[in-house]
Structure 1
Amino acid sequence: MTKEKVGIAFAKATIHLYYIANRYSVTKRISPFLVDFLFDNLADFKLELQSVASELSEQYLRDCIITICRRKKITIPTFKQSQPVHDNKFQIALSKYKNEYGSISIHELYKFIQETKFDWNGKIKPNIKLYEFYDTLNARDKHEFMQAYLNFHTEKQAIIEEAMDFIEYIPSEFKQKSNNLISLVYNNNELLNQWISKTSTKIMNMLQVKNPETDQEKLLHQYQSYFVFVPVSLHIHGLLSEILGNVGLYNDGVPIYKIKSQLRYSFDKQMVNAIPFKHNGGIMKYMNRNDRDDLISVFLDVLIESATIEISEDNIKLMKTMTKDVTSEEFLNRNEDGSCPALIVCDSEGSYKYPVIKIHPILENDLSNCRGKVSRFPMVVPPKPWTNLFEGGYLVHKECVFMARFDKTYLNYFKQVSYDGHLDSVFMTLNKLGSLAWAINPDMLKILNRAANMPQGFLKIPRPISDKVPKFKDKFAQQKYISSKGARITFNMLLDMANGFSKNGEMLYTPYQLDFRGRVYPSSNLSHILSDEFRCLFMFWHSKALGNDGFNWLKYHLSSMFGNSGFHMEQAIGFCDKHKQDIIDSAKYPFDGKQWWLKSKTPYQTLSACMELTKVWEFEEQGGNIEEFRTRFPVHQDGSCNGLQHYAALTRDERGGKAVNLLDEPKKQDIYMEVANIVESKLQALIDSPDETERLYAKLGLIVLSRKLVKTTVMTTVYGVTTIGAAGQVRNRIKDFVDDCNQNPQMKGTISEEALEKIQSESFKLGMFLANVILGSISSLFAPATAVQQWLRVNIKRVLSSFNSKSVMYIKNMKPELFEKVFTQPQSLRPIIWKVPSGFPVIQYYVKSPNNQNFQSVLSSVVASQGKRTLSPMSKYKSVNGIAPNYIHSLDAVHMMWTCNNMYNEGLSFAAVHDSFWTHPCDVKRMSTILRQEFVKLHTPDLLMSLRNDLMQQVKGSYQLVQFRSCDFPELAKRIKRLRQTYPCRDNLNEMLYYELTQLEQGTSEISLWIEDYDPKVYFNREEYNSSPQVPEKYVNNGREKTWVFVPVKIQDLPAKGKLDLNRVLQSEFFFH
């Protein structure tokens, strides 16, 4: 034992005696002597108190040190993260992967996941995947395996979740560079540790001030008890990790409000992790949001002051020649000790300014290959079943079942709904979806890993991040660089995660959450819902034999992935047989062969299918029976423009239903081509237009017209796309067309240079012209769908502009600034609510953004004044524009859930990406039947009538403020005017209307009786106000006097329905395909 260790052991023993002495009044008197003895021994061994403190893991000894330092009025030393003793073998195993601050790098966490493999008491060989081993077992052994597996991985999962709160995002390249840069200055000590130590010491000194004077000191003293248990150094390390881990994500500095939003609740996590202290919640409940943000500001202030770096004069001269950035000059200013700042705070670039943190240019380059931040991993055991809003999903992390954060009013409503059992069916579906075990496809993972290392990128995989940042003046190049960089960072993060979880072949699960419409989303960053390059990685953990027609469904799947979505089964089989050699070549030589798979519209999923088909053929060649081949491959069935399918079913629209394959037609209908044909006929008609501009745009439109040109606009029609939005979509397609003509050898020469130049120069106006023609063509094909969208928007405006005395009274008392214009600019405090057939209540909760957001200082967070707990008005613009897509999404969510429930009730695997349903090849036929049956079941009731009833219930007892022309009903107008002159509040329009509103609800309104007698034609929003869904008469403002009155709110009658027979969906081959 070294002399230093002996001295530390003596010191620990002395501190323990001090602890014992202070426990009893009889021995307490000797505690001062023990303190003197302690410091005498430290002097004899030439030790600092900090050296002893660094070795203390027992909390009671740390508490004694703090007490001693306070009594002697000396600086409290910094304690390292203690590793609490647990019986959990995984926590002990994890400790070797952590750093001295209790944090763990993302790659070390992946290492831990890979190296703590379930070996079932040595029965599983090291190199075999768990799912492969499982397939070799008999039924009894499978049962025992699964029990042991779940016991092992439940503990492992809990530790992984706890570790995720303490992931360090400081890239290893940065650490290495910073160490090399300052090794001569700091005697090989790590630069980051120097910053952490220096910052922590300064903050601890502030905590020791007897009479705090500054706001920072007062705030720290307010939470002094917290820092007794949680060392300041842990927060400084976390703060540095957050800053350095985000540098690669932002081009002009890390926004401070982002840092605060990420670290705001780290205080709770540190408190729970630092000590097994059952009353730590008592401290935390008094730490409000503002105090948390202010504490982070204190840490930032001191860190920025303490984080310095020594740079030679040669490096400073070099920096001056390399950069023109104004803020870089601040990095060149030396401090009194000759060092330079490593971090500075400045305003962001652009017109909207907010404070950001920038790191010294010498260090920043090593953060360019940032791997991205992980928020949620897949799980290695099934998620905890959802039982209420906050119980379910991850084992340790508590999350809300809703993805977005809603305010208390929203959540309180759902708490009551959950308590009443109306969410039970939704929870049940989430639990079923979460119980599906996935595995990473090792063959496709190899493909992605190889493609990721290609210097120019490959297909949809962006190229590696370049150190050469475009000059600030070149805006286009800089935007392209930022976009590519962000995409690559996300790709790196997801690929690292796939590699981290793939080695052992463990079961992977994801919890599921909801959005407000009831749509389901995986919680994990890595999931099957991602784009083609990651979707190809997912296969079922459990295998199933292909059975009678599974092989044919594999072929059908490959054909569809390749782009043949309109093929019958026989055509798809013929396609795969014809291209058998191309498929095998793609599977065996994906990069070095003919690369047939690259011609596909979804190349990576196509390649995955090629590999699976090749395995089946090889199995057959070796004498195997194809029906017995066991596969984990998921086969998809996708809806045909699913949003319009729901519209056609709602309106019983036979023509529209045929266009989106609701009918049992022998040939698949191509709605995009049908719209393109309608557009073509309209443009042909305009060729002879007397208007010269129309003739020109018609001719140019016929040149660029294609299925691709109209597809995006048709798809987004269901989402209520505007003319401006559609014009933008068309302009993007025109740009693609021009680029293709210039770059594709097969296209060169097909269009004259003059025509291309004209298309390019007129692209803005041409885009708007074609957008109007396309939207008009869609409306003619789907007139009933357009009518429903209009019906929805009109009635939502009426609901949100309705009045009742309680709401107006609330505004008057709680929001007087809104009351001044409450009747001229109606503010609804109630969101739109409707119930879907599953019982789930959809609350379209679009609250107006507060207009008092501001940045009070450089280190302030974004302040959104909370004030008193008051209700916020709804955003009418968002509510009206959102109702059509949200209503349709709420229905497709029900369709997916009902399909899922029936699949699981029959013991079949099921996964979904909204309107794309997945299962094993052998079960596709059964899934196809179920999803058709559930669609018919969903739409058999009159869903629009149910929605109308919900809206009528919502406006029950409410009134609309409308107007009539005084000249049309002069006697009525005069009677109302005379009556209003008798009101005590006749000089204030708001008070006068409020008075009439209360009279209406009390049943004492004379005006309402007159309105019934005279029955004037009234107008609302410049349109005639009645119950008819027909196009209303417009109000013409002729400058004459009008009279405002209240009438009961009227929800329009439903648009007329067609004669579509829904049962034909059951026989439609291409409804989902």
Structure 2
Amino acid sequence: MNQHVAFNPAWTSLVPQRQIELEADMAGLGAERFRHKLERDNGNGRGAANGGGRFLVRKAIGPLAEGVTKTVDEGLAGRPGRPAVAVKLLRDMDPDAVAYIAARTILNILIGEARTPLYRLALRVADAVEQEARFEAFAKADSEEYRKVKRWLTTKGSTAEHQKLVLTFVMNKNSIPWDGWAKSDCTHLGIKLVELFREYTGLIEIGQVSEQYQVWLTDKTAEWLDSSAERGAAMSVAFMPTIVPPKDWSSLTEGGYHTDALQTSLVKAGHGGWRSSTEHLMKADLTKVYAGINAIQRTPWQINRAVLAVVEALVEVKSEVAGLVIDDNLVPPPKPAGIDDDPEALKTWKREAFEVHTRNATKHRSKRGIQRTLINLASRFRDEPAIYFPHSLDFRGRAYAIPAYLQPQGSKLSKGLLRFAEGKPLGPDGARWLAIHGANCFGVDKVAFEERVRWVGENRERIVATANDPLGYFWWTEADSPWCFLAFCFEWASMLANPKAFRSHLPVALDGSCNGLQHFSAMLLDPIGGAAVNLLPSLKPSDVYRDVAELTMKKLKVLASPGGAGEPEQRWAHEWLHFGIDRKVTKGPVMALPYGITKQSAAEHVREAVSDRLKATGQKLNLSSDDWSPATWFLTKVIWSAMSETVVAAMVAMNWLQDVARVASNQGVSVQWETPSGFIAKQDYRKQKQGRVETKLLGKVLKFTDWTDTDQPDTRRHGSSISANYVHSMDAAAMILTAQRLANRGVTSFAMIHDSYGTHACDTSVLAKVLREVFIEMYQPDQLRRLRGDFVNRMTGLKKQLEPSPERGDLDLSRVIDADFFFA
């Protein structure tokens, strides 16, 4: 295919054979991977871990627990014919836990085997139940030690088999007795549980085959599992980029990919609560939404082959620079000679070796799989003159690229591997914007634009050296976004070498400054919050994270002063003052504030940030283990107070929205709203009937839901979710309207990620102007008053129950047009 054809949107109605074959390949690859995983898990005795098997386990728990309870009750009542052995062993155990363990064990074996001897299956079931009973005894005998070991095992992410070994070792070490169950008793118990499973679930059959009792799935169960697997395979698509422009969205079901091999819809299913419905969107005017998302997905991209070459060379030599993951397992430290005579050294070595094994089994394996897939996809599309990314929306209207791994909204590596297919001259101010982008990628983004441009000039030699020898000169790996910065180095060096012929391919990104708070501050025209999040002109960027940190330090000084607080708060305040609260400690809670964060979740952010700094710097805190939790909770409350004074309007708006959602959902009014783009966002959270099973061995909490018993709205969840969903719907509207307006002005390339907007360097000034115009127009009307009016119109009785919308302040929103650091 020639380059001209790849760029021509007219080809959306003339789908080339290569695109048809590519979409068929996507469907086939996804189904093949799904079936391969299913077969592997079934063959390894993990059939109950997959979708169909997991569903059957959940459905079996209730009936089987009922059977276990009835068996024990009747046995204890002394009725004749009841199995005394099974009753004796089960009488003190949780029936739900027994049912879960038995169902999981039975289905794990039978899904992978056509038939299995009853005797062997019974022993496997009884063994699993005995382990549960053993560790229940451990928990009762020494609950503190048990909790400590379980906490440690959970943190390390160990397997069930490893947990079993560790718990057994600790029981023996602490002389906690356990009288093992006799094999005859285990056989008796196991057979009884298999029989109960057959009787109360109807999923299996037991019969005599060749003088031996065997167990197998009923024909109905086997057929259901087969059809479930086929449904899973059909739904498992390995979505990839297209090589022609995606089909324009013209309705909720028409758009994206071109052939019937791939079924996609504009609004992704399964979001927003209990069930996904698009009925509320059927009558909406989505003209602007279609125009915006179509402009985004029509953007032609290319693989940045210079960056890909560096990635492949580094992977080849198993380098871990710039966040790469080596393709082999991490090697545990060798056991030093003579270490068996040094208990402390032996303990340290075992801990380090175990941590390596844990990383290999969990995060490292996942990361290397993702990296391998990403690089393979980039290699596959390396020579395409243009590739495209079909997009869809979530229930709030947020746009997402459909392909996984390789896409403009992906990881830092994914972004670095992509560039615009179309190259454009820099024009009068493109070089300035490109330099600002380069500084931003390195991490020089908290200073004025002129300082960022100057930084690039001062590092000209380093940038050129990087472009000439990225595999020998690793300065670029120090950047905040190393792969995007490497791409910039290639571009900048190319521009310097031949400025007249240079064509820029890089997306230059402008990022919102704590965008959720920007939306709330604009909603209520809050001058204090607006200044903190760069809605007003300033000589240098405001930093709300730093502002909150500085106010927190002032509050701590007061609390640490004589009479400022009681004991131990005064001592904690002094310790936190000595530690020093900076923007890294406050960033997590402040960033999450617009999305309905609670003090409890804010405390998690604070603990994590403090722990990270202690590890990175070697600083020490003079806090005992007993002090750690209450001291960090104390610090969280101080930070919360500082946030409340810095972004007052955001707190007011969040609380009001939560009240509205609770009242409306409680009165049966659907919690939905129209955004400025015309999109209708809708929450649909329903009360769920849930069971809960926790086992001592597996440490699992299994929640299973009856989706048919669901008519009541979940008022609590509506309230807790509305703040995040509402502000996300508003940032989605801003992005869609910006793309739509830019497309009308002739801009053809977009790199849009929620609160980060990108285009060619030469078009960045137009982007900066238009995104500000859209934002100002969105918040000239009082959006919260409009929201309240919509709820009242849909149910008149709400008028008296809903509080008036919050009063707006006196922020002059028109000044956003001159606020350089609003998006920067």
**TM-score by structure 2 length?**
0.70
Does residue 457 in structure 1 map to residue 320 in structure 2? yes
8 Å CA contact retained: 1:704, 1:734: no
Does residue 767 in structure 1 map to residue 632 in structure 2? yes
8 Å CA contact retained: 1:652, 1:1061: yes
Partner in structure 1 of residue 462 of structure 2: 582
Residue of 710, 713, 718 corresponding to 2:594: 718
Change (3 A) 1:456 1:695: farther
Partner in structure 2 of residue 840 of structure 1: 679
Shift of 1:629: 1.6
Task: Please tell me the residue identity of whatever aligns with 2:556.
Answer: L
Counterpart-to-counterpart distance in 1, 2:446 and 2:42: 45
Change (3 A) 1:325 1:411: closer
Shift of 1:889: 0.9
Q: Name the SS of the counterpart of 1:945 in structure 2.
A: helix
Partner in structure 2 of residue 162 of structure 1: 24
Partner in structure 1 of residue 286 of structure 2: 423
Shift of 1:393: 1.0
Does residue 644 in structure 1 map to residue 517 in structure 2? yes
Change (3 A) 1:759 1:917: farther
Counterpart-to-counterpart distance in 1, 2:755 and 2:818: 19
Task: Please tell me the residue identity of whatever aligns with 1:158.
Answer: I
Counterpart-to-counterpart distance in 2, 1:778 and 1:839: 33
Q: Name the SS of the counterpart of 2:464 in structure 1.
A: helix
Partner in structure 2 of residue 244 of structure 1: 40
Change (3 A) 1:302 1:258: closer
Shift of 1:444: 1.0
Shift of 1:640: 0.8
Identical residues among aligned pairs (%): 27
Shift of 1:562: 1.4
Counterpart-to-counterpart distance in 2, 1:891 and 1:668: 23
Change (3 A) 1:704 1:763: farther
Q: Name the SS of the counterpart of 1:391 in structure 2.
A: coil
Shift of 1:911: 2.5
Partner in structure 2 of residue 907 of structure 1: 746
Partner in structure 2 of residue 550 of structure 1: 430
Partner in structure 2 of residue 873 of structure 1: 712
Partner in structure 1 of residue 505 of structure 2: 632
Equivalent runs, 1:199-598 vs 2, <5 Å = 239-240=35-36, 242-244=38-40, 253=46, 256-258=49-51, 304-305=113-114, 375-396=238-259, 397-405=262-270, 414-415=278-279, 417-418=281-282, 420-455=283-318, 457-466=320-329, 479-481=358-360, 482-502=362-382, 504-525=383-404, 526-593=406-473, 595-598=474-477
Does residue 797 in structure 1 map to residue 673 in structure 2? no
Task: Please tell me the residue identity of whatever aligns with 2:39.
Answer: I
Residue of 622, 644, 650 corresponding to 1:779: 644
Counterpart-to-counterpart distance in 1, 2:639 and 2:650: 15
Counterpart-to-counterpart distance in 2, 1:162 and 1:421: 33
Change (3 A) 1:508 1:850: farther
8 Å CA contact retained: 2:575, 2:621: no
Partner in structure 2 of residue 705 of structure 1: 581
Task: Please tell me the residue identity of whatever aligns with 1:713.
Answer: P
Counterpart-to-counterpart distance in 2, 1:646 and 1:616: 37
Equivalent runs, 1:22-37 vs 2, <5 Å = none
**TM-score by structure 1 length?**
0.55
Does residue 884 in structure 1 map to residue 759 in structure 2? no
8 Å CA contact retained: 2:273, 2:683: no
Counterpart-to-counterpart distance in 2, 1:1054 and 1:144: 50
Does residue 732 in structure 1 map to residue 608 in structure 2? yes
Q: Name the SS of the counterpart of 1:509 in structure 2.
A: coil
Q: Name the SS of the counterpart of 2:823 in structure 1.
A: coil
Shift of 1:388: 2.0
8 Å CA contact retained: 2:686, 2:710: no
Does residue 953 in structure 1 map to residue 798 in structure 2? no
Counterpart-to-counterpart distance in 1, 2:689 and 2:274: 17
Residue of 663, 671, 694 corresponding to 2:569: 694
Shift of 1:759: 7.5
Counterpart-to-counterpart distance in 1, 2:792 and 2:746: 42
Matched residue count: 633
Q: Deviations over 1:918-954 (max 9, x none)?
A: 1000010111111111110111111111111122234
Equivalent runs, 1:956-995 vs 2, <5 Å = 956-957=796-797
Task: Please tell me the residue identity of whatever aligns with 1:841.
Answer: I
Shift of 1:897: 0.8
Shift of 1:727: 0.9
Shift of 1:468: 7.2
Counterpart-to-counterpart distance in 1, 2:634 and 2:594: 21
Task: Please tell me the residue identity of whatever aligns with 1:258.
Answer: G
Q: Deviations over 1:604-623 (max 9, x none)?
A: 21111111101111114xxx
Task: Please tell me the residue identity of whatever aligns with 1:164.
Answer: M
Q: CA RMSD in A?
A: 3.7
Q: Name the SS of the counterpart of 1:718 in structure 2.
A: helix
Counterpart-to-counterpart distance in 2, 1:498 and 1:730: 38
Residue of 514, 526, 541 corresponding to 1:668: 541
Q: Deviations over 1:1026-1065 (max 9, x none)?
A: xxxxxxxxxxxxxxxxxxxxxx751101222210001100
8 Å CA contact retained: 2:691, 2:703: no
Counterpart-to-counterpart distance in 2, 1:453 and 1:167: 26
Which segments of 5 or more consecutive residues in structure 2 lack a partner in the other structure? 56-105, 117-159, 166-193, 195-203, 205-235, 334-349, 695-701
Partner in structure 2 of residue 50 of structure 1: none
Q: Deviations over 1:540-564 (max 9, x none)?
A: 1111111111111111111111122
Shift of 1:799: 1.7
Shift of 1:406: 6.2
Counterpart-to-counterpart distance in 1, 2:331 and 2:46: 17
Counterpart-to-counterpart distance in 2, 1:143 and 1:239: 37
Moved more, 598-607 or 565-574: 565-574
Does residue 922 in structure 1 map to residue 786 in structure 2? no
Shift of 1:429: 1.9
Which segments of 5 or more consecutive residues in structure 1 lack a partner in the other structure? 1-117, 121-133, 135-141, 172-237, 263-296, 308-322, 329-344, 346-354, 356-372, 743-750, 803-827, 856-860, 959-1047
Task: Please tell me the residue identity of whatever aligns with 1:524.
Answer: P
Shift of 1:699: 2.0
Counterpart-to-counterpart distance in 2, 1:652 and 1:681: 27
Q: Deviations over 1:636-692 (max 9, x none)?
A: 111111111111111111111111111112222111111111011001111113523
Task: Please tell me the residue identity of whatever aligns with 2:815.
Answer: R
Equivalent runs, 1:908-1057 vs 2, <5 Å = 908=747, 909-957=749-797, 1049-1057=800-808
Q: Name the SS of the counterpart of 1:387 in structure 2.
A: coil
Q: Deviations over 1:969-994 (max 9, x none)?
A: xxxxxxxxxxxxxxxxxxxxxxxxxx
Counterpart-to-counterpart distance in 2, 1:375 and 1:885: 30
Counterpart-to-counterpart distance in 2, 1:469 and 1:849: 45
Does residue 1059 in structure 1 map to residue 810 in structure 2? yes
8 Å CA contact retained: 2:304, 2:418: yes
Shift of 1:884: 0.9
Q: Is the helix fraction higher in 1 or 2?
A: 2
Q: Deviations over 1:871-906 (max 9, x none)?
A: 632222321111111111111111101100011111
Equivalent runs, 1:740-755 vs 2, <5 Å = 740-742=616-618, 751=619, 755=620
Change (3 A) 1:788 1:151: closer
8 Å CA contact retained: 1:798, 1:1049: no
Task: Please tell me the residue identity of whatever aligns with 1:851.
Answer: Q
Counterpart-to-counterpart distance in 2, 1:769 and 1:436: 49
Change (3 A) 1:415 1:879: closer
Shift of 1:435: 0.8
Q: Name the SS of the counterpart of 2:595 in structure 1.
A: coil
8 Å CA contact retained: 1:389, 1:401: yes
Shift of 1:711: 1.0
Counterpart-to-counterpart distance in 2, 1:723 and 1:684: 22
Q: Deviations over 1:222-260 (max 9, x none)?
A: xxxxxxxxxxxxxxxx7445433999xx9x956543367
